[in-house]
Structure 1
Amino acid sequence: MVNNVRKAKVPVTIFLMNGVKLQGVITWFDNFCVLLRRDGQSQLVYKHAISTVMPSQP
């Protein structure tokens, strides 16, 4: 699923375990991290901190 939204550049909403909501496009990921891009800024998020990933398109 993550690779599909990355390839299609589908915007996603990521909820973290602490309740924080992040939005953007996944540009890269590996076994441990996801790189999220929004407004020209990138955020590296560790997968163990992610609760939910919701694509904005089905």
Structure 2
Amino acid sequence: MQSKTHMLVVLTDGEQLEGVIEWYDRDCLKLNRVGAPNLLLYKHCIKYMYKVEPE
């Protein structure tokens, strides 16, 4: 969690969110975003996620 890896998170409804995962637990994760509100995402709403290069 110290590496500040930029991630693209795709939700089950197809929405794509980009940011850095600040922390996670059994049920959710916190996504920090630049220029947008930070989000608390429930894991059951995430379809998949992968690393991306920061813009």
**TM bin (shorter chain):** 0.7 to 0.9
- Aligned identity (percent) is 35
Structure 1 residues 1-56: Cα deviation after superposition (integer angstroms, max 9, x where no partner): xxxxx321010000000000000000010000010001263100000000011012
Aligned residue among 1, 7, 17 for 2:2: 7
What number of residue pairs does the alignment pair up? Answer: 52
> Please, which runs of 5 or more residues in structure 1 have no aligned partner?
1-5
> Please, which runs of 5 or more residues in structure 2 have no aligned partner?
none
More helix by proportion, 1 or 2? 1
After superposition, the CA RMSD in angstroms is 1.4
TM-score with structure 2 length normalisation? 0.85
User: Which stretches of structure 1, 4 residues or longer, exceed 3 Å deviation after superposition?
Assistant: none
